[in-house]
Amino acid sequence: MSTSAASANPLARMLEPAEWAAAGIPLLRNPREVVSGLHSRHRPRPATAVVAVLDPDERLAASASFTRRPAPADGWMFRNSLLAQLRRVIPHDLRRRTPVRTAVLLYCREGDARWTEEDGAWMWGLRDACTLHGLRCGAYITLTSDGWQVLGEGRGGRRPNADAPPESFESFAAADTPQPRAGGAASEVLRRAAAR
Protein backbone atom coordinates (compact mmCIF):
# COMPACT_ATOMS: atom_id res chain seq x y z
CA MET A 1 0.00 0.00 0.00
CA SER A 2 1.43 3.40 -0.94
CA THR A 3 1.93 6.16 1.62
CA SER A 4 -0.81 8.30 0.09
CA ALA A 5 -3.25 5.37 0.16
CA ALA A 6 -2.37 4.70 3.80
CA SER A 7 -2.91 8.34 4.75
CA ALA A 8 -6.32 8.33 3.00
CA ASN A 9 -7.45 5.25 4.92
CA PRO A 10 -8.98 6.17 8.31
CA LEU A 11 -8.06 2.72 9.68
CA ALA A 12 -4.39 3.58 9.07
CA ARG A 13 -4.82 6.62 11.33
CA MET A 14 -5.35 4.75 14.57
CA LEU A 15 -3.10 3.07 17.12
CA GLU A 16 -3.64 -0.40 18.51
CA PRO A 17 -3.12 -0.82 22.28
CA ALA A 18 0.20 -2.64 21.71
CA GLU A 19 1.48 0.24 19.51
CA TRP A 20 0.44 2.75 22.17
CA ALA A 21 2.14 0.77 24.94
CA ALA A 22 5.33 0.48 22.85
CA ALA A 23 5.42 4.25 22.23
CA GLY A 24 6.89 4.98 25.68
CA ILE A 25 4.06 7.23 26.86
CA PRO A 26 5.08 8.71 30.26
CA LEU A 27 3.08 7.43 33.22
CA LEU A 28 1.05 9.88 35.27
CA ARG A 29 2.24 10.06 38.88
CA ASN A 30 -1.29 10.58 40.19
CA PRO A 31 -3.83 9.77 37.46
CA ARG A 32 -6.86 10.02 39.78
CA GLU A 33 -5.94 13.59 40.70
CA VAL A 34 -5.55 14.53 37.02
CA VAL A 35 -8.85 12.87 36.07
CA SER A 36 -10.75 14.36 39.02
CA GLY A 37 -9.35 17.82 38.34
CA LEU A 38 -10.32 17.73 34.66
CA HIS A 39 -13.74 16.27 35.52
CA SER A 40 -14.46 19.06 38.01
CA ARG A 41 -13.26 21.79 35.62
CA HIS A 42 -14.96 20.62 32.42
CA ARG A 43 -17.89 18.43 33.58
CA PRO A 44 -17.63 16.19 30.49
CA ARG A 45 -20.65 14.31 29.13
CA PRO A 46 -20.46 11.50 26.57
CA ALA A 47 -18.76 12.55 23.29
CA THR A 48 -16.74 15.25 25.12
CA ALA A 49 -12.96 15.39 24.75
CA VAL A 50 -10.81 17.26 27.27
CA VAL A 51 -7.21 17.99 26.23
CA ALA A 52 -4.90 19.20 28.99
CA VAL A 53 -1.30 20.36 29.07
CA LEU A 54 0.71 19.51 32.18
CA ASP A 55 3.94 21.20 33.24
CA PRO A 56 7.01 19.13 34.28
CA ASP A 57 5.62 18.91 37.85
CA GLU A 58 2.32 17.55 36.49
CA ARG A 59 0.43 20.74 37.33
CA LEU A 60 -2.23 21.84 34.88
CA ALA A 61 -0.91 24.57 32.56
CA ALA A 62 -3.95 24.75 30.23
CA SER A 63 -6.98 22.73 29.19
CA ALA A 64 -9.88 22.85 26.77
CA SER A 65 -12.94 20.73 26.11
CA PHE A 66 -15.03 20.21 23.01
CA THR A 67 -17.74 17.89 21.75
CA ARG A 68 -16.95 15.32 19.10
CA ARG A 69 -18.94 15.69 15.87
CA PRO A 70 -21.06 12.69 14.88
CA ALA A 71 -18.84 11.28 12.11
CA PRO A 72 -16.76 8.14 11.60
CA ALA A 73 -13.73 7.92 13.90
CA ASP A 74 -10.76 9.37 12.03
CA GLY A 75 -7.41 10.10 13.67
CA TRP A 76 -6.65 12.89 11.21
CA MET A 77 -9.87 14.75 12.07
CA PHE A 78 -9.27 14.17 15.79
CA ARG A 79 -5.69 15.46 15.39
CA ASN A 80 -6.95 18.65 13.74
CA SER A 81 -9.54 19.20 16.49
CA LEU A 82 -6.96 18.67 19.24
CA LEU A 83 -4.44 20.92 17.53
CA ALA A 84 -7.01 23.70 17.15
CA GLN A 85 -7.79 23.51 20.88
CA LEU A 86 -4.11 23.44 21.87
CA ARG A 87 -3.35 26.47 19.69
CA ARG A 88 -6.23 28.30 21.34
CA VAL A 89 -5.12 27.73 24.94
CA ILE A 90 -1.29 27.51 24.98
CA PRO A 91 1.66 28.62 22.82
CA HIS A 92 3.59 25.88 21.02
CA ASP A 93 6.96 24.58 22.24
CA LEU A 94 8.44 23.89 18.80
CA ARG A 95 11.60 25.94 19.48
CA ARG A 96 12.63 23.63 22.34
CA ARG A 97 15.05 20.81 21.63
CA THR A 98 13.01 18.40 23.74
CA PRO A 99 9.45 18.88 24.94
CA VAL A 100 8.99 19.84 28.60
CA ARG A 101 5.20 19.94 28.76
CA THR A 102 2.94 16.94 28.29
CA ALA A 103 -0.52 16.77 26.73
CA VAL A 104 -3.06 14.27 28.03
CA LEU A 105 -6.49 13.51 26.65
CA LEU A 106 -9.58 12.52 28.60
CA TYR A 107 -12.43 11.29 26.42
CA CYS A 108 -15.89 10.75 27.89
CA ARG A 109 -17.87 8.16 25.95
CA GLU A 110 -20.58 5.54 26.10
CA GLY A 111 -19.76 1.86 26.57
CA ASP A 112 -17.24 0.13 28.79
CA ALA A 113 -13.56 0.78 29.35
CA ARG A 114 -12.28 -1.67 26.71
CA TRP A 115 -10.31 -0.26 23.78
CA THR A 116 -12.31 0.65 20.66
CA GLU A 117 -11.30 1.79 17.17
CA GLU A 118 -12.49 5.25 18.19
CA ASP A 119 -9.95 5.18 21.07
CA GLY A 120 -7.26 4.14 18.57
CA ALA A 121 -8.11 7.14 16.40
CA TRP A 122 -7.95 9.50 19.41
CA MET A 123 -4.56 8.02 20.37
CA TRP A 124 -3.24 8.60 16.84
CA GLY A 125 -4.64 12.13 16.85
CA LEU A 126 -3.15 12.95 20.26
CA ARG A 127 0.30 11.66 19.32
CA ASP A 128 0.31 13.62 16.05
CA ALA A 129 -1.07 16.83 17.60
CA CYS A 130 1.63 16.69 20.28
CA THR A 131 4.36 16.36 17.66
CA LEU A 132 2.98 19.34 15.71
CA HIS A 133 2.65 21.50 18.86
CA GLY A 134 6.02 20.58 20.43
CA LEU A 135 4.58 18.64 23.38
CA ARG A 136 5.27 15.22 24.85
CA CYS A 137 2.45 12.81 24.17
CA GLY A 138 0.90 11.79 27.47
CA ALA A 139 -1.86 9.52 28.72
CA TYR A 140 -5.10 8.75 26.92
CA ILE A 141 -7.90 8.33 29.45
CA THR A 142 -11.45 7.13 28.85
CA LEU A 143 -14.31 8.16 31.11
CA THR A 144 -17.41 5.96 30.97
CA SER A 145 -20.30 5.14 33.29
CA ASP A 146 -18.04 2.39 34.73
CA GLY A 147 -15.34 4.90 35.73
CA TRP A 148 -12.04 6.04 34.26
CA GLN A 149 -9.27 4.04 32.63
CA VAL A 150 -5.77 5.03 31.51
CA LEU A 151 -5.51 2.95 28.35
CA GLY A 152 -2.26 1.09 27.89
CA GLU A 153 -1.47 1.22 31.61
CA GLY A 154 -4.24 -0.78 33.21
CA ARG A 155 -4.83 1.90 35.84
CA GLY A 156 -8.32 3.16 36.53
CA GLY A 157 -11.02 3.79 39.10
CA ARG A 158 -14.77 3.98 39.59
CA ARG A 159 -14.92 7.67 40.49
CA PRO A 160 -15.22 10.01 38.83
CA ASN A 161 -17.32 8.49 36.08
CA ALA A 162 -19.46 9.80 33.22
CA ASP A 163 -22.58 9.86 35.42
CA ALA A 164 -21.08 11.28 38.62
CA PRO A 165 -21.46 14.91 39.63
CA PRO A 166 -18.06 16.61 39.72
CA GLU A 167 -16.26 16.98 43.03
CA SER A 168 -15.85 20.57 44.10
CA PHE A 169 -13.23 22.49 42.14
CA GLU A 170 -12.05 24.22 45.33
CA SER A 171 -10.73 20.96 46.79
CA PHE A 172 -8.41 20.53 43.78
CA ALA A 173 -7.42 24.20 43.69
CA ALA A 174 -6.45 23.92 47.36
CA ALA A 175 -4.46 20.77 46.62
CA ASP A 176 -2.50 22.64 43.91
CA THR A 177 -1.50 25.39 46.36
CA PRO A 178 1.74 24.58 48.16
CA GLN A 179 1.24 24.48 51.91
CA PRO A 180 3.73 26.31 54.16
CA ARG A 181 6.29 23.99 55.66
CA ALA A 182 6.77 23.87 59.41
CA GLY A 183 9.76 22.52 61.22
CA GLY A 184 13.39 22.26 60.23
CA ALA A 185 16.41 24.37 61.13
CA ALA A 186 15.09 27.61 59.60
CA SER A 187 11.87 27.36 61.62
CA GLU A 188 13.84 26.83 64.81
CA VAL A 189 16.02 29.91 64.11
CA LEU A 190 12.93 32.03 63.42
CA ARG A 191 11.21 30.74 66.58
CA ARG A 192 14.25 31.67 68.71
CA ALA A 193 14.49 35.13 67.09
CA ALA A 194 10.80 35.77 67.77
CA ALA A 195 11.20 34.69 71.39
CA ARG A 196 13.89 37.34 72.05
Q: Kindly report the three-state secondary structure assignment for every residue of the chain.
A: CCHHHHHHCHHHCCCCHHHHHHCCCCCCCCHHHHHHHHHHHHCCCCCEEEEEEECCCCCEEEEEEEECCCCCCCHHHHHHHHHHHHHHHCCCCCCCCCCCCEEEEEEECCCCCCCCHHHHHHHHHHHHHHHHHCCEEEEEEEEECCEEEECCCCEEECCCCCCCCCCCHHHHHHHHCCCCCCCHHHHHHHHHHHHC
Angle, helix 31-42 to helix 169-176, in steps of 10 degrees:
130
pLDDT recorded at residue 168: 58
What fold does the segment set 3-195 form as a domain? Cytidine Deaminase; domain 2 (3.40.140)
- In this prediction, the residues of the chain whose per-residue pLDDT falls under 70 are 1-11, 167-196
List the one residue out of 61, 157, 66, 63 whose CA is nearest residue 107. Answer: 66
Per-domain residue ranges for the chain?
3-195
pLDDT recorded at residue 187: 39
pLDDT recorded at residue 11: 61
pLDDT recorded at residue 192: 44
* pLDDT tens digit sequence for 7-57: 456 567 999 989 998 888 999 999 999 999 999 999 999 999 999 999 999
Q: What is the pTM of this model?
A: 0.80
pLDDT recorded at residue 153: 85
